[in-house]
Amino acid sequence: MASNGTQTPNASCLDCAIDQSAWKIALPSLYFMIFPLALVLNLTVAWICLHLQVNSSLTVYLKHLVAADLLMTLTFPIRAASELPGASPGLHAFVCRFSSVFFYLAMNMSVILMGLISLDRYLKIVRSGGSLLGQNLLFTHALSFTFWIVCIGSITLPIIMTTDQDPMNMATEFCMAMKSKLGLDWHKAVVIVTKVIFWTVCIVIVFCYTCIAKTVLESYQRSHSNNDKRKRKAKLRVFLILIIFLICYVPYHSIRIPYTLLQIKGNCSCTWFFLKIGKELTLWLSSLNVCLDPLIYFFLCKAFREKFWEICDLEKLFPSFGKKQ
């Protein structure tokens, strides 16, 4: 699904009342800006997760989500560098064929895992009690790895293999020029399939949190004790996933299909250019999930929260600290 090319062969793209030189500085600056924070956050989260005991389906999904976030984070500097004025064609080609493909792999897996986490919270809060296959550790491990394998096998590898043409002197966008005829058809099919997956997951998430909200409201109406208030606060934390999902992913997936249809046609009109800017801005918004997901780990996973506070315990890290106070 790489679409990071910047080549615009037709002059009609250049008369759209937008300073393209300023845009080519602004876009990479956005990625460079969040990369240090994202890297520190996700390396810290990854270290904590390596020391967590896997004792629940939620922990399994969170570990896979951390892997997806870290993978996406590592693509930021290369993606940003390729957008800078004067970036070499070789760097553009690398981003089109590899870096952007792994970026989208990480994003698609994040969407799927958020759906699985939402289902897990629904089963725990709304359908609590009884033996549930979806909460079996072996099943959740197998399910998570299956999604990785399917995404890599049906999306990532085919796109890498079909993005192998010489893009120079071709009257179309750089990344599209690198694709064979099969690659263009596959690209279009992948965009449609991933949109179906996204909106299916979106429906599942909205359904889960509608049911959770109903359960929390009923719990509130039954009792007003302090203990129940704490329980309700714990349940309300799960809405973080819904908030992050709506903020980060819905804008991008709403604009992606019309942009792709014009992109494949090689249409370089102002409409395409404005859609491209909208797509890139909403894509950057999607990348912000790597900075927001740690909130999910902290508020939803008790084991993660306890390990975090253990790390932050200054008296344990620096024994002399407590004595001086």
Contact 297, 45 (CB under 8 A): yes
Q: Which of 22, 27, 24, 32 is nearest to 8 (CA)?
A: 24
Model pLDDT, residue 236: 59
- Residues 6 or more apart whose CB falls under 8 angstroms from that of 58 comprise 117, 120, 121, 124, 300, 301
Model pLDDT, residue 263: 67
Q: How far apart are CA 180 and CA 166, in angstroms?
A: 10
The alpha-carbon radius of gyration of the chain (Å, integer) is 22
Q: Which of 4, 150, 149, 22 is nearest to 76 (CA)?
A: 4
pLDDT digits (tens, 9 = 90+) for 216-270: 777 777 765 555 555 555 555 767 888 899 999 999 988 887 887 776 665 567 7
| Ranges in the chain, pLDDT < 70 | 1-19, 128-135, 168-172, 223-236, 238, 263-268, 313-325
| 179 DSSP β-pair partners | 163
Model pLDDT, residue 212: 84
Model pLDDT, residue 43: 94
pLDDT digits (tens, 9 = 90+) for 33-69: 999 999 999 999 999 988 888 888 889 999 999 999 9
Q: Is 186 helix (H, G, I), strand (E, B) or coil?
A: helix
Own/partner pairs for 264-270, CB < 8 Å, 24+ apart?
A: 264/176, 264/184, 264/187, 264/188, 266/171, 266/172, 266/173, 266/176, 268/8, 268/9, 268/10, 268/12, 268/13, 268/173, 269/12, 269/13, 270/12, 270/13, 270/15, 270/16
Contact 110, 121 (CB under 8 A): no
SS (H, E, C) 41-78: HHHHHHHHHHCCCCCCHHHHHHHHHHHHHHHHHHHHHH
Q: What does the block give as tokens for 28?
A: 């990479």
Q: What does the block give as tokens for 37?
A: 């924070």
C-beta atoms surrounding 29 within 10 Å: 12
Q: Quote the mean pLDDT of the chain.
A: 81
Chain centre distance of CA 43: 16
Cα dihedral across residues 8, 10, 13, 14: positive or negative: positive
| 218 DSSP β-pair partners | none
Model pLDDT, residue 29: 93
Tell which phi-psi region holds residue 129, choosing left (phi > 0), alpha (psi between -120 and 50) or beta.
left
Q: Which of 22, 20, 43 is nearest to 290 (CA)?
A: 43
